[in-house]
Amino acid sequence: MTNAMSAPPTVDLKNINRVELSLSADAQMLFLARMTGAAVASRANFDYERVEDLRLAIDELCVRLMSRGGGPARITLQFQWDEDGVINVVATLVPEDDPTGNGRHSHPTATPASFELSERILDALVDDHGGDSIGGVHREWLRMRRQDPLG
């Protein structure tokens, strides 16, 4: 399910765990986001398949953000999880000032078809996701729940 304008609510203040990661919006750096997501999912006691789903979903989230940007930027990821096995990830694309660009940025490279495919991929991997854009700052988020064994 996709919600275009609202981020996930803040996790209750019971036993909340949080990790933040900031990296250059460069495809070669995305392995850090995937590794962090896998570590978070392992700490939240997700099974192997859900860990891999989260890794793929985080990669898709970051690629979506990078395709929206038009110049040098950073991606900031905030991971939160609780003892109930719910992981929330909020990824923000923060443009960096580029003195050589004289205030001009290239146009985003994403097409409507690529965003539609991205939506389908995220729909298959996570429980909920969405995104928004305010003042040139793009944000995407996802939520994933641990699947407990049958019984």
Residue 6 forms part of a structural domain: no
**Distance of alpha carbon 150 from alpha carbon 97, whole angstroms:** 51
Residue 106 forms part of a structural domain: no
Residue 4 forms part of a structural domain: no
Structurally, the chain folds into a number of domains equal to: 1
Predicted structure pTM score: 0.80
Residue 72 forms part of a structural domain: yes
Residue 150 forms part of a structural domain: no
Q: What is the pLDDT along the chain (151 residues), one digit of tens a residue?
A: 454 545 555 545 568 899 999 999 999 999 999 999 999 999 999 999 999 999 999 999 999 999 887 788 999 999 999 989 999 999 999 888 644 444 444 444 556 778 899 999 999 999 999 999 888 788 999 999 998 764 4
Q: Determine the structural domain holding residue 67 and report its residue range.
A: 16-98+122-145
In 3D space, the residue among 88, 105, 83, 116 whose CA is nearest the CA of residue 10 turns out to be 88
Q: Write the CATH number for 134.
A: 3.30.565.10
